[in-house]
Amino acid sequence: MRIMNNGWVKFLLGIILVCVPLFFIFSALPGYIATYSATEDEITNTYPGDQILTSPVITWTHGASISAPPEKVWPWIAQIGQSRGGFYSYTFIENMIARDGSYQNASQVLPQFQDPQPGVYIITDMLPVKEVKTGEYFLAAVDDFFGMGWTWGWYIKPEGTDSTRLVIRMKIQTEGETLNPIATWIMDAGGFIMEKAMLRGITDRAEGRPFPAPVEPLEISVWFGTLLLGLASAWQVIRRTNWVYPLLLGLTSIASLLVFTFVQPFDILRIVILIILILAYWAYIKRDERPQEKEQK
């Protein structure tokens, strides 16, 4: 048992217990990302713009059911774009890249952007509007941007009497027919985080929620709070003899970070999870201090 209380042994055990599940989770992510929330028919359907790129290295088909009629959904799609209505995603990431504050998520319909025309850029000097059919689809595409092709389309149709089905299809093509697996994974993961937030943002706006997602300051704070708690738990694993509990707490923190990042639950659920983790950590610290206090007496 003494060897199991060695700091380096505990550290290596913790690394193994973290890395093995993460390996399987990250291996499964590309399949989850490529067809997130899309039906089999939506995945196999052909959409306007599919013919532009014949050998994409990345193809996504994502879906969302929105509890609002198409006429309530379309205005939010029509104004999508940089220096327009935004992408309803994480603007702090977008503006880190653009460095000019041009990404702002509109919280209302903007009349001046309701008639998008081919040639208008939704990403400045990079991705122009290709084709629009009002109330049905919005397609942006470029077939050769420094050797890269990119199509991005939003397609809507009525679903039932008072709801809408939104399908987003994105394709990326490079000069080669394959892409470095690590680069592919990074593009998949990073792009999906942003698009998942966009799906939430469009849905919340179309359904008329007063505080549409993403609530960036709150979500960022909860994410980093959970990360810090996980790191604090890892430190307790190294320095304490009673290390199983903080190890489990650290693993739970990592699982929570994955959920916050890729599942993106309601903000109230994120707050509840973080509060539970904080209380669990505090209870462990207080309980572990009692034996030490008795020994000092």
**pLDDT band at residue 207 under the 50/70/90 scheme:** very high
Exposed (0-12), middle (13-18) or buried (19+): which is 73, by Cβ within 10 Å? buried
**Any bridge partners for residue 62, and if so which?**
168
Q: Tokens in use for 111?
A: 């009349």
**pLDDT band at residue 204 under the 50/70/90 scheme:** very high
Once rounded to an integer, what is the mean pLDDT over residues 89-118?
A: 96
State the average pLDDT for the chain: 90
What is d(CA 201, CA 190) in angstroms, rounded to the nearest whole number? 17
Alpha helix ranges (H) inside the chain: 7-34, 40-44, 70-78, 91-98, 181-206, 216-239, 244-258, 267-296
Once rounded to an integer, what is the mean pLDDT over residues 204-218?
A: 96
Predicted local confidence at residue 7, as pLDDT: 61
Whole-model pTM: value is 0.89
- Enter the CATH code of domain 35-214: 3.30.530.20
What is d(CA 130, CA 49) in angstroms, rounded to the nearest whole number? 8
- Among 88, 93, 116, 91, which Cα is nearest to 205's? 88
Domain locations in the chain as residue ranges: 3-27+217-296, 35-214
- Does position 297 have pLDDT exceeding 50, yes or no? no
Range of weakest confidence among 54-68, 144-158, 235-249: 235-249
Predicted local confidence at residue 286, as pLDDT: 87
Q: Tokens in use for 272?
A: 């509840």
Q: Tokens in use for 245?
A: 């509990």
